[in-house]
Structure 1
Amino acid sequence: MGHRCCAHRACHEVYFLSAVVSAGWICAGFAAICCFGLAIALIRTRRRVRQCEARLQELDRQPAVISHEIRTPLSLVRGAAELLAEETPGPLTPAQEMFVSTISDNTQLVIDMAENMLAISRLETGALPSHQELVDIRAVVSSCAREVRRILGTPIFVESSGGMIPIVTDETQVRQLVWNLVNNAARHAGADASVTVSVRAGDAGGCTISVMDRGSGMTDQDVDALFTPFSTGSTRRPGSGLGMMVVKRIAESLGGRVLVDTEVGSGTAIMVQLPEHVGREEE
């Protein structure tokens, strides 16, 4: 009887061990399957992340590609229009002069739009190149004013009395800011109006660039829409509005700010205050 009980107990122990081993194998197999599944999911996730990163890089490059593709042919069109305006091929009739002027003016508008779209894209993604150096603001302003005067023919007067005003900033960004500022004023000044540009040193360093036109001025609605592209104010204003948005974005990225002083019927003055050093905000 004792032997039979021992044998029975031994059988139960064998069955128990077999069950434990089987359960262990099942758990191990399940764990292996789970680990394998997780590994596959991780590989697929990483692959998807790489695809998304590549797509984002492609999207970041698209504004530059589009801008280049737009600017290149339009620059050729503008160059041809300038040659016609200079009567290089021969004299033009008054009607032909008007057509050539329209071609040149609208071509420049689209080129500016392409430049500004690229700048906005880079500013929003933080990809706008920045190179800090000592910049003579008076020289930059005078250069931009001459170029806008040459292209548009608008009387632009630069108050350049005084010495050099050096600030440490990004010259390329400042040039784009000033170009848009003067270009905007010249286009909105009106047919018989003029634009005055001045630069003065700040009391605590830095400088203030002022551009004043003697046009029709702006309403409160116009001022609210000034830095919003493709918006419609109370009056019809040429262009997309991207230029002033770029002015504001660049000024802020350089640690400065933009102020507007306008009166309906008297004209508009837009002032950009820039710090002596990039990243040092104006008080």
Structure 2
Amino acid sequence: MVSIAVNIGQLTGSATQWGAGVVQKVMSLAAGMLALAVSACASPDVVPNTLLASGQPAQLAIEAPIGLPEGKVLQLETRLRDQLAQNGAAVAARSDDLALYRVQGVCSAAPEGGNTQIACVWDLVDQAGERAYRLVTEETARGGRGDPWAAIDGAVLTRVAQAAATGIVAWLPARGGLLAANPGPVISFGGRRFFVSRVSGAPGDGNSTLARAMVRALKAEGETVVASAAGAYQVRARVTVGRPRGGNQSIAIKWQLFDPSGQSLGNVDQKNRITAGALDKNWGQNADNSAKAAARGIIQLAPPR
């Protein structure tokens, strides 16, 4: 199961800013995997728009993964490029080169049982801008007290790249050169619909206000929202509010997405600190801020249209 951490910002006036940290895709998880507010930096070498010797585009162009600290972005991008090439894929020299598919990744690291787990969602986007394939990889690193990214070293990033490359190459219809003229059908999940089933645990009017805000946010992203769970992807949320301390209190929202059969597809997690009691009555704009930031992550967790 994928869990996407959404970074939360500061209080502005009376409304809490729920920033879309690890979930803005440029996707985009990452979305849009998932849209991240992290700017992607492309590799600075080589001449752009390189073609293969045959004059045809490469199979893959690697975009800088998002969600990682700046110092680890290029490390993972380089390792993924190398692993794909070692597995026989034709990889463009730069992210803006001509290619049949663009590889976009969004990663998140979080402590788990005394260790650190890094989860990445990888999308292959075709030349029409449609997502053709999605792969989720998860790796565990030892330790991780404090900043979870401190436990993600080069060896862990190599494992992440190896897992991603193996899955991507296994999906490609042909290896070692260009794709076949007819790469085969792409699985379609046409008619994708969402149903916001329930929000629980929120103080004040949060349960109903957050649910309505998520409906508006999904519609604003161009998604179809229905009034029945039948055949729809279900969105649920659980709000947890901590005890007041020093005039403030913590608040966390776990948004969950389930497929039409009831299987969990992943979470979008939001955390923040607010003035104690600030949401005990009316959520107002806070509900919309939270839903807008989470909606892109929810969309990324769902299969492509």
Q: Give TM-score scaled by structure 1 length.
A: 0.24
More helix by percentage: 1
Q: Give TM-score scaled by structure 2 length.
A: 0.23
Indicate the structure whose relative CO is greater, using CA pairs within 8 Å and at least 6 residues apart: 2
